[in-house]
């Protein structure tokens, strides 16, 4: 097995500050992704495009993460981690500042893409560094801590954009994010130790990525998380048009959903350290049941509120177990696999939103949970296959080790 192959941080390192720096940067990259949703009208009016066109800046960012992230990871595979992390943080700041001063819509797109290209690799470095800092047997918690920056971003991204951009200027929230990201870079600069360049290269990273359990984990991420996206993307119209909740109640419920995601992520990280297989099965099983119940209770406010809160707890609970599964099989070359899996969550959001939109256009707003449950079932099957492959790999390694000992 390759559970704990990441080298421990040197004694002079400051693990708490290192984790803080990465959490801040992950929070900033995640917030930048969601900010646009809160300032779409102002952005569209300022640069002279339609609201629909302004919304494509979200697509540009998602593609930058999903496509640009792996490319950046491959190109930087042999660079020392501290210098790379700092450089990526500065690239994100630069892209965000381009967005802040962009005179035209095209420059807004450029800024968004530049910012996005840093996210996946930076996130992956944060995960491997956190795993080393937390020590053996705590990979799940390490992943959950770094990922908490992203879960907080999902809670605050849109409200922060609406609050700052609505009352001041749509560029202001991006400037605030850039300033916070600079703080994260400075924390890493002062606390993260210098380490030698990785001994592994591009071929090692690609060889790791194409391992069966890793590919299954990435596929599970896309399919399983897409089920959540089908429902969550259109949760507001579902709650207002079908459930009949008052407009004043929905923002508070969405905030509670986001807080639930933050808590669920941390709890799942702890559970993944105790028993990764049972955690994955439990999370996907609970997702299947929860999503399937949405259409059945959609017209009843009280149980619907409960379902939304439960979905909030489960929404990000797949992150720590799936990334932990990747880490277990990534050996000394985990960065590309982790970066691809980060992009897989973005891809899942895009797939879920697109399919959910098709359902809404067909008049099936209430029944989105059925489609989400189907995706969660497939995610559960893929997770079981990934775990089975994991078990077979472990048994093969144990047999090989015993054979080698017999020949000595």
* 370 contacts 292 by C-beta, under 8 angstroms: yes
Residue 389 lies in a domain: yes
Residue 305 lies in a domain: yes
Identify the domain boundary among 198, 221, 255.
Answer: 198
Burial 252-270 (b: 16+ CB within 10 A, else e): ebbeebbbbbbbbbbebbe
**What's the pLDDT score for residue 201?**
73
Structural domain harbouring 105: 1-198
- pTM for the whole structure: 0.77
43 and 58 share one domain: yes
72 and 140 share one domain: yes
Residue 331 lies in a domain: yes
CA atoms 304, 312, 159, 221: torsion sign: negative
Residue 191 lies in a domain: yes
Residue 405 lies in a domain: no
302 and 324 share one domain: yes
281 and 351 share one domain: yes
* 294 contacts 368 by C-beta, under 8 angstroms: yes
How many domains, the chain?
2
| Structure tokens given for 184 | 């994260």
374 and 239 share one domain: yes
* 332 contacts 205 by C-beta, under 8 angstroms: no
Query: Cβ neighbours of residue 359 under 8 Å, at least 6 residues apart?
Result: 230, 365, 367, 368, 371
**What CATH number does residue 389 fall under?**
1.20.1250.20
135 and 205 share one domain: no
248 and 208 share one domain: yes
131 and 207 share one domain: no
**What's the pLDDT score for residue 103?**
93
248 and 140 share one domain: no
124 and 141 share one domain: yes
pLDDT tens over the chain, length 408 residues: 344 444 455 544 577 888 999 999 999 998 888 787 767 778 888 888 887 788 788 778 878 888 888 889 888 888 888 999 999 999 999 999 999 999 999 999 999 999 999 988 998 898 888 888 777 778 788 888 888 888 888 777 666 666 666 666 889 889 999 999 999 999 999 988 887 777 677 888 888 888 888 888 889 889 988 898 888 878 888 888 899 988 888 878 878 888 888 889 889 999 998 998 899 999 999 999 999 999 999 999 999 999 999 998 998 888 888 888 877 777 667 788 888 888 888 788 778 878 888 888 888 889 999 999 999 999 999 988 888 876 555 544 444 444 444 555
20 and 169 share one domain: yes
Identify the domain boundary among 139, 171, 198.
Answer: 198
Phi and psi dihedrals of 192, rounded to 5? -80, 125
DSSP element (H, E) containing 345: helix 335-361
138 and 260 share one domain: no
Report how far residue 153's alpha carbon sits from residue 151's, in angstroms, rounded to the nearest whole number. Answer: 5
Identify the domain boundary among 168, 198, 228.
Answer: 198
């Amino acid at each position: 097995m390759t559970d704990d192959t990441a080298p421990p941080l040197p004694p002079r390192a400051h693990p708490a500050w290192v984790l803080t720096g990465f959490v801040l940067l992950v929070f900033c990259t995640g917030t930048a992704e969601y900010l646009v949703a809160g300032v779409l009208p102002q952005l569209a009016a300022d640069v002279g495009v339609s609201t629909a066109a302004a919304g494509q800046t979200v697509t540009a960012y998602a593609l930058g993460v999903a496509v640009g992230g792996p490319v950046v990871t491959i190109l930087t595979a042999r660079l020392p981690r501290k210098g790379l992390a700092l450089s990526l943080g500065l690239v994100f700041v630069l892209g965000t500042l381009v967005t802040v001063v962009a005179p035209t819509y095209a420059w807004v797109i450029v800024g968004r893409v530049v910012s996005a290209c840093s996210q996946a690799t930076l996130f992956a470095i944060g995960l491997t560094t956190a795993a080393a800092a937390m020590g053996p047997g705590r990979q799940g918690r390490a992943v959950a801590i770094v990922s908490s920056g992203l879960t907080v971003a999902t809670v605050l991204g849109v409200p922060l954009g609406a609050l700052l951009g609505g009352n001041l200027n749509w560029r202001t929230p991006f400037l605030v994010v850039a300033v916070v990201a600079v703080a994260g870079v400075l924390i890493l600069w002062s606390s993260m130790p210098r380490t030698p360049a990785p001994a592994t290269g591009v071929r090692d990273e690609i060889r790791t990525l194409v391992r069966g359990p890793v590919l299954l984990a990435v596929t599970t991420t896309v399919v399983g998380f897409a089920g959540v996206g089908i429902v969550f993307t259109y949760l507001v119209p579902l709650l207002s048009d079908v459930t009949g909740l008052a407009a004043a109640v929905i923002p508070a419920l969405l905030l509670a959903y986001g807080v639930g995601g933050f808590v669920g992520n941390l709890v799942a990280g702890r559970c993944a350290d105790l028993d990764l297989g049972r955690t994955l099965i439990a999370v996907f099983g609970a997702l299947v049941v929860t999503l399937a119940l949405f259409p059945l209770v959609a017209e009843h406010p009280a149980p619907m509120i409960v379902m939304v809160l439960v979905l909030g707890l489960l929404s990000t609970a797949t992150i720590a177990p799936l990334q932990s599964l990747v880490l277990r099989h990534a050996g000394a070359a985990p960065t590309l696999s982790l970066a691809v899996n980060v992009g897989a969550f973005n891809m899942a959001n895009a797939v879920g939103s697109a399919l959910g939109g098709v359902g809404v256009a067909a008049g099936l707003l209430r029944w989105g949970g059925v489609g989400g449950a189907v995706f969660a079932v497939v995610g559960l099957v893929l997770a079981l296959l990934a775990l089975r492959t994991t078990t077979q790999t472990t048994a093969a390694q144990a047999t090989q080790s015993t054979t080698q000992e017999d020949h000595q």
